Amino acid sequence: MFQDLRDWMDEADKLGELREVKGAHWDQEIGAVVDMLNRKKNCPAVVFDDIVDYPSGYRILVNSVSSSKRLALTLGLPTDLEGRDLAWAWQRQNSEIKPIPPKEVSIGPIMENVLSGDDIDLTKFPAPRWHALDGGRYIGTGCLVITRDPEENWVNMGTYRIMLVDKRRVTVFISPGKHGRIHRDKYLNAGKPCPVVISFGQDPLLFLISSIEIPYGLSEFDYVGGLRKESVPVVRGELTGLPIPATAEIVVEGWIHPGDTHPEGPFGEWTGYYASSSREEPVLTVERLYFRNDPIILGCPPGKPPVENTFFRSHMRSVLLEEELKKAGVPDVVGVWCHEVGGCRLLNVVAIRQRYPGHARQAGLVATACRGGAYLGRYTIVVDEDIDITDLNDVMWAVCTRSDPKNSIEIIDRFWSGPLDPIIPQDRKGMNTRAIIDACRPYEWRDKFPPVVEAPKDLMDSVKEKWGYILE
């Protein structure tokens, strides 16, 4: 299996899924290429080189895991899987994970260049301005922000947005309730500086796991180790003692000091809006800079869905949400799908095989309130097992024909939202309402519900065998 971002790029190239672009400008042009890629499914990964104003070899990789083949490659699964088949394979793999802690090593490729103090210059790297209305250059979109809980001593790795301020400073935007935010606030509320390590380019598997909901208290390093069945090699940070991925491309280490802030944003986010405006955000002062020769930034800019991060999250977050439902004791969950159109948060669909009165409402409430569905959700739809949860046409058909607006929709107030929610006014950011739509056949008379117009399965199988070629 690949060991770092460069090995991964070689493997993607062998699959015919890597392209190169030379001479693009860091100011919006690279972002516009990403927008172009997002308009079509299963587009290739693209590496930018000879970026305007920067030396050859200082590269940016985008669209890394936005195809089924590359997502499967990254997860170590067969590359011919797609859609629900890919999600089910990931589900089986995920269910067998036994966390393995990282392995500390004394040296790694990330140590090729180590700079301190005034020698640090983050502007030497081609941080893009991704969107036209962005308030700055965002060096961190496919990044890892690494922190340690000062009370419980566990290490978290999360993907948050990082804006370049100057040679030695970046802002760190983390929405309330995120694990990295909880760590940071514990330090700052105690009047202490928060130690932080940020990787701006690394093995895409680390990025994937950093971007999804891992249980509180479990380190993503341990989780990735369990996935790979071997420890992730890390170098201990000189100043903070935090683990640094040994094969990373660019890493900074430093401190967020209480009261040290800088204006951040606006930034085009995963909802498809510049919803968080501009405000003061904490600043990381960089004390150490580590980077490889000819370094690569891993970019994953959000935007109006569908985009790269909604593609991989639709597969991965759906599995995690389904697992949470089952662990909460909801029986006969047939499947869960977090739809890209809602950024894989705002529209989640749960299919069940109804077993008792209230089963559908139970499933909807748990899916709305558990960790995988709680943050900035909007609509949870519960359907019967005959509905294809990945097909919005099928889902909305169930909503239109099996739900009654007065009796089938529950509205819940004061749920966990955040600064990115576009429908919440600036003075009320933080909480929102949720709708749970019961689009199942009413349990008490489901056996008398009108039958669906469709050919019997045995006849359909026979027809496909005889004349299925006309669909080719």
- Read off the pLDDT of residues 246-291 as tens digits, 9 standing for 90 and up: 999 999 999 999 999 999 999 999 999 998 889 999 999 999 999 9
**What is the model's pLDDT at position 94?**
87
Interacting residues of 207 by C-beta distance below 8 A, sequence separation 6+: 64, 65, 142, 143, 144, 159, 298, 300
Residue 355 DSSP SS3: coil
User: What DSSP state is assigned to residue 193?
Assistant: P
Helix (H) or strand (E) segment spanning residue 308 = helix 308-327
**What is the model's pLDDT at position 427?**
83
State the burial class of residue 397 (Cβ atoms within 10 Å of its Cβ: 0-12, 13-18, 19+): middle
49, β-bridge pairs: 22
What percent of the chain is predicted at pLDDT more than 70?
100
Q: How does pLDDT run across 315-373, given as a tens digit for each residue? A: 999 999 999 999 999 999 999 999 999 999 999 999 999 999 999 999 999 999 998 89
- 232-247 average pLDDT score: 97
Describe the chain by its helix, strand, coil percentages, rounded to 5: 35, 25, 40
In order, the DSSP letters of 93-138 are HHHT------EE-S--GGGGEEEEGGG--GGGS---B-STT-SS-E
Which of residues 360 and 420 earns the better pLDDT score?
360
Is it the case that residue 120 has pLDDT exceeding 90? yes
Q: How does pLDDT run across 287-308, given as a tens digit for each residue? A: 999 999 999 999 999 999 999 9
> Shortest CA distance to 159 belongs to which of 102, 207, 214?
207
Q: How confident is the model at residue 95 (pLDDT cuts 50, 70, 90)?
A: confident
Peptide bond between residue 266 and the one before it cis (omega within 30 degrees of 0):
yes
Q: How confident is the model at residue 84 (pLDDT cuts 50, 70, 90)?
A: confident
Domains of the chain: residue spans and CATH: 1-87 (no CATH), 97-294 (2.30.110.10), 308-448 (3.40.1670.10)
> Shortest CA distance to 304 belongs to which of 73, 424, 92, 130?
130
User: Cα separations (Å) of 308 from 71, 77, 448?
Assistant: 10, 19, 43
